[in-house]
């Protein structure tokens, strides 16, 4: 067995049972399993990384863990610090994505597709914000900024993958799709249709995003065509 498998198994085990705990509304299972997820993925990152530790990524994981704990304990007005922590993580990923930008293979058709991605992201943002009625001015402005930051991240990552496909840009793309999906399901569940399936999908995709974060950060930056 490879040394990284126990940490990956722990991450999968904790994620699956945390979701089960939410589905069956068992607070004890959720309380036990959810705090194990980010530490397990951190251990996995430490085991699979082939270069020096990326401290910015460690900050992302600490922020994600803090956000998860705020969700777990359902603190009053906890949505605001959660949104701020998530937005902070997105800003760091924007920094990583900007570093990945290359104009070497840019063409008119790729620029056209990039424009479609930007338009698509902001259409999704407009629709989601339309669902989030009844917010005070501060929360409304915060979610607008939050959405814009995520749109910028998605646009840059989409551009990178269109312009120069590689394993790294592919993992970044999947990671960003997880971010968007998680936030959309959160908005739908909390502001439009309060069905349990939406919160389950929200949590499941969020947990999956941790794995793709590690794959993106640890992937070789050299261009490798995705098969």
pLDDT, one tens digit per residue, over 59-70 is 999 999 999 999
Q: How confident is the model at residue 222 (pLDDT cuts 50, 70, 90)?
A: very low
pTM of the entire predicted model = 0.90
DSSP result, the chain: --TTHHHHHHHHHHHHHHHHHHHTT-HHHHHHHHHHHHHHHHHHHHHH--SS--HHHHHHHHHHHHHHHHHHHT-TTTHHHHHHHHHHHHHHHHHHHHHH---TT--HHHHHHHHHHHHHHHHHHHHHHHH--S--HHHHHHHHHHHHHHHHHHHHHHHHHHHS--HHHHHHHHHHHHHHHHHHHHHHHHHT---HHHHHHHHHHHHHHHHHHHHHHHS-SS-----
- Asked whether residue 226 carries a pLDDT value surpassing 50, the answer given is no
Domain presence at residue 19: yes
**41 domain-assigned:** yes
The whole domain housing 111 covers: 5-218
Report pLDDT for 93. Answer: 97
How sure is the predictor about 135, in pLDDT bands with cuts at 50, 70 and 90?
A: confident
Number of domains in the chain: 1
> For residue 215, what are its two tokens?
């794959």
Q: Is residue 33 part of a domain?
A: yes
Residue 220 binned pLDDT confidence (cut-offs 50, 70, 90): low
The model's pLDDT over 27-56, given as tens digits with 9 standing for 90+, comes to 899 999 999 999 999 999 999 988 888 999
Identify whether 227 is part of a domain: no
Task: Judge whether 50 lies within some domain.
Answer: yes
The answer as to whether 223 is a domain residue is no
């Amino acid at each position: 067995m490879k040394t990284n498998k126990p940490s990956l198994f722990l991450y999968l085990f904790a994620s699956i049972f945390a979701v089960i705990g939410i589905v069956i509304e068992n607070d004890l299972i959720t309380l036990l399993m959810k705090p194990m997820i980010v530490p397990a993925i951190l251990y996995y990152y430490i085991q699979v990384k082939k270069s020096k530790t990326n401290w910015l990524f460690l900050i992302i994981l600490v922020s994600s863990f803090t956000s998860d704990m705020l969700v777990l304990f359902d603190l009053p007005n906890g949505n605001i610090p959660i949104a701020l922590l998530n937005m902070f993580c997105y800003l760091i990923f924007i920094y990583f994505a900007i570093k990945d930008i290359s104009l070497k293979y840019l063409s008119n058709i790729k620029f056209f597709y990039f424009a479609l991605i930007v338009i698509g992201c902001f259409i999704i943002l407009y629709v989601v914000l339309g669902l989030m009625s009844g917010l005070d001015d501060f929360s409304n402005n915060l979610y607008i900024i939050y959405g814009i930051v995520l749109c910028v991240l998605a646009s840059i990552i989409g551009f990178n993958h269109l312009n120069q496909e590689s394993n790294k840009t592919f993992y970044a793309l999947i990671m960003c799709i997880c971010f968007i999906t998680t936030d959309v399901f959160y908005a739908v569940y909390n502001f439009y249709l309060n069905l349990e399936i939406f919160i389950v999908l929200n949590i499941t995709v969020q947990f999956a995003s941790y794995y793709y974060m590690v794959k993106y950060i640890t992937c070789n930056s050299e261009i490798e065509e995705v098969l």
